[in-house]
Amino acid sequence: MTMMKRLLTTTAMLLFALNSWAATPTEVVTKATNGLIDKLKATTVEDRTDELVTSLVMEYIVPAIDQEKIAMGAMGKYWRLASPQQRDEFIERFRELQIRTYSGAFKAFSGEKLAYEDARINDAGDRALVQGQLIQQNGNVIPIDFKLYQGDDKQWRIYDAVVSGLSMVKTYRDQMSQRLQGTNPGNAKERMDVLLEELKKEAEQVAAS
């Protein structure tokens, strides 16, 4: 690689990084959700296969989410009881669950619109709330808010979504807690292994269907 090409490549990478760091919380949310919706609008309902919608969720939604933070919230008190290996596996299994959830929601898209207000940022400058509205074709308005966290890399990522006052993380935490309490007897780590195996089998069943 010549010196000029190396310089151009380095400059392009720096510009990309600076643009990513400069994105506001509202821009992160808008790019993730409206970016995906714009892609869906460009396709017919017949063309919206599971594979297409899943690929769009992977492209737009997943990168905007803080996977570890949202997994910690979903696991609640059980997070500190899990081993590092169990935590890593749960992050992956929970990521798969989120992809299925978002894919199902966006596959049902039928012309709804999303509008957002400017973000409200806390005094420390590391957490933000982006309030929005999902406007349905019949005129109904559903409040949908996103909570974001700014990591050490200065990028904003989503760690919770609140729809009509119902927190996605809390809903998942209640579900996971019930499943952990209802699994076979044993200590917390053994119950976690059972849950992880269940989540793995569920993902395999969905993939095979």
The tens digit of pLDDT for each residue in 62-82 reads 999 999 999 999 999 899 989
Q: How confident is the model at residue 86 (pLDDT cuts 50, 70, 90)?
A: very high
Full-model pTM: 0.82
**Is residue 1 pLDDT above 80, yes or no?**
no
Residue 160 domain-assigned? yes
Phi/psi at 4 (nearest 5 deg)?
-65, -45
Residue 196 domain-assigned? yes
User: What confidence score (pLDDT) does residue 170 get?
Assistant: 94
Residue 3 domain-assigned? no
Residue 13 domain-assigned? no
Nearest Cα residue to 129 out of 151, 115, 150, 148: 148
User: What confidence score (pLDDT) does residue 15 get?
Assistant: 33
Q: How confident is the model at residue 156 (pLDDT cuts 50, 70, 90)?
A: very high
User: What confidence score (pLDDT) does residue 152 get?
Assistant: 85
Residue 2 domain-assigned? no
Residue 5 domain-assigned? no
**Average confidence (pLDDT) over 154-160:** 93
**Is residue 12 pLDDT above 70, yes or no?**
no
Percent over 90 (pLDDT), the chain: 56
Burial 17-44 (b: 16+ CB within 10 A, else e): eeeeeebebbebbbebbeebbebbeeee
CATH of the domain at 173: 3.10.450.710
Domain that holds residue 188: 25-208
**Is residue 204 pLDDT above 70, yes or no?**
yes
Residue pair 161/171 in contact (Cβ under 8 Å)? The answer is no
**Is residue 11 pLDDT above 50, yes or no?**
no
Handedness of CA 106, 108, 114, 119 (dihedral sign): negative
Residue 149 domain-assigned? yes
User: What confidence score (pLDDT) does residue 206 get?
Assistant: 78
Give the chain's domain count.
1
User: What confidence score (pLDDT) does residue 20 get?
Assistant: 42
Residue 1 domain-assigned? no
Instruction: For the chain, give the mean pLDDT.
Output: 85
